[in-house]
Structure 1
């Protein structure tokens, strides 16, 4: 048995200027697939859905139509960035009448494990699109993903002239056209930055971003406790100690946390620990007992019960599934 980890007393007085900023500071992407395509009309590509993975399309040249899931198709053109957040299948085509081909049936050329190129079409009007699959690589990802709209579309040309986003997309376009040595590495890294920026812009500009967990993270009192939990997930937190961090009474804090987040504080703590645990199980070979101890559980069985309550499966089963189906 491990000894309970007492919360760091400094958290009770430590100033936290921007709780949401601190949470998003750790946000990063893990790219799973990138495809740079050169297409000529007529052409159509059907891309399957991938649960828990976001997809994006950057139009480098020309124009195309995009259909996400069962939604109505819409036109996209040079400079547009579209982020599809919930893993729905998508279709890209030169015009609504074009015949769709499954992505895996097309003449894709593998450049690296993560980067592929595609040249395809009937020889008409040209279009160049970069398509990618990315995964949010942080334990907050499920919380954020649940609040994001299905589709985020950004037109960087609406920004002031010379904005860094315009410049970055222009640089991606140049690298895609020339594909110099190491170009695929440059493109994939820049694409990750652009996707993160799309999410950040939605967070800062959309009224829909001011709800649920995101609204709670912005709250000066509840936001402090969310950051404290994230900084020290293994601490022996209680409603009383979290209320101290918030500078509120126990009852006032409990009601405010539940009202903003949608779940009680101790349930949020347990689910946060389990999100961390699942990521550690998927990405490392650490023994389950060590993961349990690192997250403040005094025994492996207690940890396993908590994990199963949240995910409906045991830690061992979750690890086996991730090994059988690597991202």
Structure 2
């Protein structure tokens, strides 16, 4: 049997339980930019953005207006200082007015400045619209779990006092960089775009604070959240139910019951699935051997790890490595 399910770590200075469990999940987002684009669009214009395979898509308006039409027929109009995040990258149509001809995104010529950054000029020569767009992936089990809970679109208005004055300042900075690029401007644009993605998710989390059950509710729970934070910080440690209950400051039975009521999972079932999600990400990256990943997940042998991985995910570690 693996040490991952048997050893209860000691409580005390070595167990990090202070802080904000939900904030820690945001810290683990580990955004990886696929590409960033700064389009300059002149009326009339229309763009058909295809489904981007579950990647996060951010559209931050810095000048003019943009109609966003979703697959279900819903519409949203963005003005300068507003943005929308599409957590699953569903297809959308963008235009400056209803009825415009829609050109497929990848049919529009663009100027590639480096492997991940491009600019685009498109449209009929009329009123200008500028925006900064980012297509990003997340690279952590915590981030994947969080993104799966987000709605199909998150709207953020920088002029809303709840958004914070710095969001408006960030968008103004984006606008200045897009209009008058300077050395290093691509780096600034991409980093600011990443920050805006996190801010959009934070804004949504504040509106989702009334959930009574589920993973977010568990993270917000004063005691269960402490245990989850300790586990997420060191998932390779040989946590037991008793060890996590100790981190939460609860009895073993009370913690197990509260955890199941909030998350719908048994404590060690959650721990095992989480470890296998982390291991799956490592396997896809291909930087470490299966034996190294097994040890990192807290398993004494590659065989024991492989059995649990297959039972949890339905795939062998080797097949995921080859995918």
| Distance in 1 between residues matched to 2:164 and 2:91, nearest whole Å | 34
CA–CA distance in 2 between the matches of 1:209 and 1:177? Answer: 42
TM-score, normalisation: structure 1: 0.90
CA distance in 1, matches of 2:162, 2:275: 42
Distance 1:162 1:140 in 2: 25
C-alpha distance in structure 2 between counterparts of 1:13 and 1:183, whole Å? 41
Going from structure 1 to structure 2, the CA distance change for 1:3 and 1:153 (only over 3 Å counts) comes to closer
- Structure 2 residue 160 is matched with structure 1 residue 158: yes
CA shift in 2, pair 1:298/1:161, >3 Å: closer
**Any unmatched runs of 5+ in structure 2?**
none
Structure 1 residue 256 corresponds to structure 2 residue 258: yes
Alpha-carbon distance between aligned partners in 2 of 1:245 and 1:161, rounded to the nearest angstrom = 34
Which of 227, 235, 238 is the aligned partner of 2:237?
235
Task: Decide which of 7, 24, 27 is 2:26's aligned counterpart.
Answer: 24
The match for 2:145 is 143
**Distance in 2 (alpha carbons) for counterparts of 1:238 and 1:189:** 39
Identify if the C-alpha distance between structure 1 residues 15 and 302 changes in structure 2 by more than 3 Å, giving closer, same or farther: closer
Q: Deviations over 1:129-188 (max 9, x none)?
A: 222111223220121012211111111012289911111110011001112222111100
Q: Which residue number corresponds to residue 10 of structure 1?
A: 11
Q: Deviations over 1:107-149 (max 9, x none)?
A: 1111111111110111122211222111223220121012211
Deviation at residue 53 of structure 1 after TM alignment: 1.2
Q: Partner residue of 1:325?
A: none
Name the structure 1 match of 2:55.
Answer: 53
Structure 1, 188-197 or 129-138: larger mean CA deviation: 129-138
Q: 1:71 to 1:262 in 2, by over 3 A?
A: farther
Q: Secondary structure at the match of 2:74?
A: coil
Partner of 2:193: 191
Aligned residue for 1:277, secondary structure, equals: helix
The alpha-carbon distance between structure 1 residues 45 and 308, as it changes in their structure 2 partners (threshold 3 A), is farther
- Answering whether residue 306 of structure 2 is matched by residue 304 of structure 1, we say yes
CA distance in 2, matches of 1:145, 1:208: 18
Partner of 1:223: 225
**Secondary structure at the residue paired with 2:57?**
strand
User: Cα distance, 1:293 vs. partner?
Assistant: 1.0
Q: CA deviation at 1:39?
A: 0.7
Count residues with an aligned counterpart.
Answer: 321
For structure 1, which segment, 82-91 or 20-29, has the greater mean C-alpha deviation from structure 2 after superposition?
Answer: 20-29
Unpaired runs of at least 5, structure 1: 322-327
Say whether the 8 Å CA contact 1:2–1:293 is kept in structure 2. Answer: no
Aligned to 2:120: 118
Cα root mean square deviation, aligned: 2.3
Match of 1:279 among 273, 278, 281: 281
Q: Write the mapping of 1:63-142 to structure 2, written as runs, cut at 5 A.
A: 63-142=65-144
Kindly indicate whether the alpha-carbon contact (under 8 Å) linking 1:28 and 1:196 is maintained by their aligned counterparts in 2: no
1:15 CA drift (Å): 4.9
Aligned with 2:62: secondary structure? strand
Q: Against the structure 1 CA distance between its residues 15 and 65, is the aligned structure 2 distance closer, same or farther, given a 3 Å change threshold?
A: closer
In the TM superposition, residue 201 of structure 1 has moved relative to its aligned partner by 1.9
Report if the CA contact (8 A) 1:34-1:114 is conserved: yes
- After TM superposition, the structure 1 stretch with the greater mean CA deviation from structure 2, 140-149 or 241-250, is 241-250
